[in-house]
Amino acid sequence: MKKQLKNMLIISAGISVISPVISASCGNKGTVKAKEVADIYLPDNFDIKELGYFEKKKIFNKADSINLNSIDYTKNTTFELPDEKDFFLKIYSITPPAIDENTVVPADKDIEVSTEINLVFRIVYKDPNENSVELVDGWERKLSIKNDKFVLHSLNSVYNSFESIKANAFEFKNIDWDKLKAKYFDAEIVEWSDGDTPKVKVTAVDPSNTTVKVGEETKIRISGIDTPEKFVGNNKSRDFEHNYAKLSSRFAEETVPKGSKVRVYADQKDAFGRWVGDVFFGENYKYLYSVEITRSGLTLPYFSEVSQALNFAKNPLYWEHYALLQLANAFEFAITNKKGFFKTFALPYWIQSNIYRMKPNGKWTLLDKKSERNLFNIEGINLINDSYKNK
């Protein structure tokens, strides 16, 4: 029997009831500490694992023995069932904490708010022969975690300057710029509209690059990231998003301030007439802006084109060759080390749902190594071997 359901572990999804389900809000009495295993994912169109009465009872009792309160749901979603090799406890869904959009977080003082996080647990079966995953019908547990003292950290403590992460920054040391001379130009920063859009003035360009002229001023939409919005058109974002967006802008203005010499890689324009590309900055243009603001935790990455990764990650003429692997590594660094927004919000989706209100950004999953489908497990893409390496 097949069930078709979008399985979204990080999103508050309505969970379909599949035949009679045992349900408990917070009545977990298990004593066995949960043991993490490599994450297992249900496909969107999954099968139901048929079990006999006594086998079901045995599996259900083992699931009931686990202490759900011992689970760190921010790190993993799949756990052992005692003495079972093919059946696993799975966090089926997580609803994020919801912060009021009008909340004002002070610059220099933490505040506490009331939140609630809801988890749904199910049992899954992984067939060792076919490597397929099925849902075991008839068992469900719900855990509601209420927190009256969820800390919204002061904005200044959330902010990370480039200098504070510079020791971990990636340095591009041996780019063959001659190969890219038709795709880049040198410039200086005129201003930043926000954390992902600078205006630059062209200072030098190779004759093979006929897209811009020396002295021209143009806007750049930074590839690979999408920072929170301060404004969309003339509409100001709500206080909660606006104040976090200002942190992204602050990073831009302090890291690559007005007058900074930069090298701009750009090869196409967007619908607003802005060049889409990226900014190399620092001595010998050895740092890439999209990567370092991601490492700071002051943006979510933004990349959804699998075909571009397939076609361009191995080609040194394209941005993807230089940026994608380093963006993923920087994203992992920010999450693991609780940098920037991750100091307050443990998971990327929590940032997406609470900070990115005016223009939601859900296009970070391909660069998240823990996502079910990411650039490290898609057939045909080998970022580690194909991407740029310092030689």
Domain-terminating residue out of 119, 152, 185: 152
Residues sharing a CB contact under 8 Å with residue 385, sequence separation 6 or more, in sequence order: none
Residue 64: name the closest of 121, 125, 137 by CA: 121
The verdict on residue 13 lying in a domain is: no
d(CA 200, CA 279): 10
Structural domain of residue 146, as residue ranges?
A: 35-152
Inform me whether the pLDDT recorded for 29 exceeds 90.
Answer: no
Q: Is 181 in contact with 206 (CB distance < 8 Å)?
A: yes
Q: Which tens digit of pLDDT belongs to each residue from 272-284?
A: 999 999 999 999 9
Provide the domain count of the chain: 2
Give the end of a domain, one of 110, 133, 152. 152
Spatial contact of 143 and 118, defined as CB atoms under 8 Å apart: yes
- Residue 21: pLDDT above 70? no
pLDDT at 230: 96
- The answer, yes or no, to whether residue 25 has pLDDT greater than 80, is no
Torsion, Cα 181 184 190 196, to 10 degrees, reads: -160
Within 107-262, residue ranges assigned H as helices are 155-158, 162-165, 239-255
Q: Could you give the angle at the alpha carbon of 369 between the alpha carbons of 363 and 372, nearest 5°?
A: 70
Question: Which of these ranges, 1-10, 49-58, 64-73, 197-206, has the smallest mean pLDDT?
Answer: 1-10
CA distance 304 to 297: 19
- What is the pLDDT at residue 34? 95
The verdict on 171 and 132 lying in the same domain is no
Name the pLDDT band for 8 (thresholds 50, 70, 90): very low
* Whether 42 and 167 share a structural domain: no
Domain shared by 230 and 327, yes or no: yes
What per-residue confidence (pLDDT) applies to 24?
Answer: 37
User: In this structure, are strands 217-222 and 87-95 parallel, antiparallel, or unpaired?
Assistant: unpaired
DSSP string, 90-132: EEEEEEPP---TT----SS--EEEEEEEEEEEEEEEE-TTT--
Question: SS3 for 201?
Answer: strand
Share of the chain above pLDDT 70, in %: 93
Tell me the pLDDT tens digit for each residue of 88-132: 999 999 999 999 999 999 999 999 999 999 999 999 999 999 889
In the chain, DSSP assigns E strands to 2-4, 32-33, 45-49, 66-67, 78-80, 87-95, 111-126, 133-152, 184-194, 197-205, 217-222, 225-226, 231-232, 235-236, 261-269, 275-281, 287-288, 300-301
- How many Å apart are CA 123 and CA 362, to the nearest integer? 27
Token pair recorded at residue 389: 């390496």
Contact (CB, 8 A) for 24 and 142: yes
pLDDT of 15 strictly over 90 = no
Mean pLDDT (whole number) for 172-187:
97
Q: Note the pTM of the prediction, 2 decimals.
A: 0.91
130 and 167 both lie in a single domain: no
- Residues 137 and 171 grouped into a single domain: no
Residue 1 lies in a domain: no
Contacts of 302 (CB under 8 A, 6+ apart): 224, 225, 226, 361, 363, 364
